[in-house]
A and B are shown apart, each in its own frame.
Chain A
Amino acid sequence: MADKQNWQPLGRDELAMRVAQDIPEGWSVNLGIGIPTLVANYVPPQREVIFHSENGILGMGPAPTPETLNPWLVNASRQHVTLRAGASLMNHADSFALVRGGHLDLCVLGAFQVAENGDIANWARSDDETAPAIGGAMDLAAGARRIWAVMEHVTRSGEKRLLRRCTYPLTAKGCTSRVYTDLAVIDVTPRGFVVIDTVPGLSFEELQQRTDAPLSRE
């Protein structure tokens, strides 16, 4: 009989919810495309977190209803958004000056790979990609005060994604401070990956089997 798996990976929304738990009131935060965008849905409205979008919005609110939809308000993922009380608008150069200048407390980015030295790769799965869609990922990765990567722990075919060194083209070097996967929360520290939290029932050894770089316990 095959080993019975006693644990369940987090779904996309559960993972977004887990990230949202750790964002305190008062932070200014940019959410990347994909699962990171879902994080906003799980920050309770009474907790004042200021969401930034690269196209010049600070203070995004929830998605609009059909009645409140404003065609002039989109975020960097091309989704319609609302403004909350206190929001401000700026041009693209100012929006990225804010990013590059280190004024964002946090950027949550999706990732293909993260290395134990904090390198992140999230725009190409091969060196042969000649016409990529990079957008603002490199600016955010280099500029925000903290980078949290959100990803599935291994690929669908089981390839490891938390590595000693990234094999895909980098988005930025050494910037990632924490990784949220569907299996665990892992800090990136000077001594490498440190496990903070795992899904219930998953052992440290099972997590290590699915991770290329060595893990250590908190």
Chain B
Amino acid sequence: MIEILSYPFMQRALMAALLTGLIAPAIGTYVVQRRLSLLGDGLGHVALAGVGLALLTGTAPIPVAVAACVAGALVVEILRQRGRATGDVGLAVLFYGGLAAGVFLSGISGVGAGGLAQYLFGSLTTVTGSDLTLISVLTLVILVTTLGLAPQLYAVSTDEEFARTQGLRVRLYHIAVVSLAAVTVALAMRTVGLLLVSALMVIPVAAARNLVRGFTAALICAIGIGVATAVAGAAASFYVNAAPGAFIVLLAIGVFMLSWPVSYLLRRRYAAAVLPELVDDDELLAPHMITENHPHRHAPGCGHPAVQHRDHTDFIHEGHRHAAHADHYDEH
């Protein structure tokens, strides 16, 4: 670990990875909450048009990509707000138009489509000092917005109508979220890459929701997972000499898969506590049914969820409700 920090390009690359890991889940939380998980993927295609334009004009790719991506995001959001983007076709045209334009522009600039690979999957050696400055400034903007306006953005992305009755300017907040998502996508081209950045916006968020309860806790947890996987992935790619985007995303998916059994255990414990109350028909007495062949003895903490039933406790056992009765168990 010390060794890779001695290379200036790796210092820049790890710093860029850290910042990307911070902002992608921060903005991704709201994007996922609005059920626009694949928005980042589409915007990555649009950013590619910006990269193509930058290659053609010989300028730095990140600023041009940021501009192209934000413009694309605004078009998508305005179409959506006017109810014109319902059929997805408009979005598809925009996204694939961006991809095609990127490939075309890089082709006539002489770089060729192969030269785009470093932008699609990230490339550690390409992070320049001015890239890092721009990424740092925009990271600050994104973090101040996503954390400082968290209560407003949370309300707008979970219950738009209620947010409006609180006097929030819902459209402006929506535009802010998609614009910042677009900036995030473009900034991530050096580390995760344009094709994989969407994964870093979505997967840490999904994993965090399995691990912790509540929106704020999930936001913080997602940022933690994002930073850890982005930095670890970037460092690992140095040793294996592979595109960092692949490592980062595979690591994030690994965390997500590990979060599943954890969430299962948490939920099982929690579910046992909130079983609905049992309601009986007072008029009719249930028939006496004895559970056949039941060696297990139920007791509090025996592993079977307990539920209060009138004056006794039933235990839920493989789809049956067992109640102790004399020397046997009854089916309730």
Tell me, yes or no, whether A binds B. no
Chain A residues with a Cβ under 8 A of chain B: none
